[in-house]
Structure 1
Amino acid sequence: MPSRQISSHAPFSTSPVFEALIVPYRSTTRRGVIWMAVAIVVLSLGVGMRFLLLGAWPVMLFSLLELPLLGVLLAINLRQTRASELILLDPRQITVTRTDPAGRQTGFSLPTAWLQINLEENRGASRVVLTTHGQGREIGGFLHEPEKASLCKALQRAVHDIRHPVFDNPQLRGL
């Protein structure tokens, strides 16, 4: 099923019952990555200079060749900061909007009437899968295992609350 653009201004939209913004885990900030890159460059050049002075010039060559590789890998790491997944559940549908590292948004919507949320285990890795009318879509792909289980339980609870609303009628409290 092809992905489609999701409009943020849907007509007759109801307020969300459940909302989750999922972003990949970031172990450091952009400033931290820059400091780490500077430290690795200084350390690499220091080791290369030490071996160059000892007469082992190929070590300096390899030290200089590893620096562009470091730059490429850190650029890929920093590029991942824009990736996210927004999950909105309202009484009529669940809408998932994904933003890739380039900033492009795609998404899909599934009706909540027959929606099933399952945590599927496969060879030690789990997936949160939304299924309705034969359509299965994975969400939360970059979450860790405990976070996937937590997301699955929270979504299941929210769908249950939609299907089984509790009405509080003050006139019936005494009965």
Structure 2
Amino acid sequence: MTAGNDYDPQPELFSALLTPHRSLSRTGFIVLMVFLSVVSFAAGLAFLLMGAWPVFGFFGLDILVIWWAFRINFRRAAATEEIRITPSELRVRRVSHRGHVVEWVLNPLWVQLDQKAHAEFGIEKLYLVSRGRRVSIASFLGPDEKASFAKALLAALQTAKRGPTLNPVT
């Protein structure tokens, strides 16, 4: 049997790796911090020359707090959520920003996609429901992204429910 004729018993019907969106890159962060530092230093220097020397230290403290907040934000961007569907299983693997892994394996024949929608804002939450278990997915996507993701996930679930299609002539 040649490599072109190999039969894959579990073809992957759907695979998505979701990561939190961060609009500020590392370079943008450096530019922002340099700009804020220069503005803070100039404003602090003006207060220092007026005789309000303690204010100068508070401007430095503000820069430190902003840097700390961005550091936490960038660290949390390391979180991921992987969703894979084959004809026999739906696997959700969530890795937190600290590296903790949680994994759910569900039968795609029993899974339903549930969504909580708001009339004005769109889809707020997506859930996979199977045998009394409810797993929240795609929590860090926006409403439009959740709608697109839900449409693709539903199509893959319907394909899994139809069963494998064997077509030896390709």
Q: Does 1:139 pair with 2:137? A: yes
Q: Distance in 2 between matches of 1:68 and 1:80?
A: 19
TM-score (norm 2): 0.82
Count of paired positions: 159
Match of 1:57 among 53, 56, 70: 53
Q: Give the drift of 1:163.
A: 2.0
Aligned twin of 1:4: none
The one-letter code matched in structure 2 to 1:136 is: R
Contact 1:19 1:88 in 2 (8 A): yes
Q: Does 1:46 pair with 2:42? A: yes
Structure 2: runs of 5+ lacking an equivalent: 1-7
Deviations 1:38-85 (A, max 9, x none): 221121111110221123334313212212212211110111221111
Aligned twin of 2:112: 116
| Alpha-carbon distance change, 168 to 72 in structure 1, aligned in 2, over 3 angstroms | closer
Q: Distance in 1 between matches of 2:166 and 2:74?
A: 50
Aligned twin of 1:30: 26
SS in 2 for 1:108: strand
Question: Which segment is superposed worse, 16-25 or 103-112?
Answer: 103-112
Match of 2:149 among 135, 148, 151: 151
Q: Distance in 2 between matches of 1:15 and 1:120?
A: 31
| Alpha-carbon distance change, 80 to 167 in structure 1, aligned in 2, over 3 angstroms | closer
SS in 1 for 2:77: helix
Q: Does 1:83 pair with 2:75? A: no
Contact 1:99 1:105 in 2 (8 A): yes
The one-letter code matched in structure 2 to 1:127 is: K
Q: Distance in 2 between matches of 1:34 and 1:103?
A: 26
Superposed structure 1 runs of 4+ greater than 3 Å apart = 122-125, 165-169
SS in 2 for 1:27: coil
Q: Distance in 2 between matches of 1:13 and 1:109?
A: 18
Aligned twin of 2:69: 73
| Alpha-carbon distance change, 35 to 19 in structure 1, aligned in 2, over 3 angstroms | same
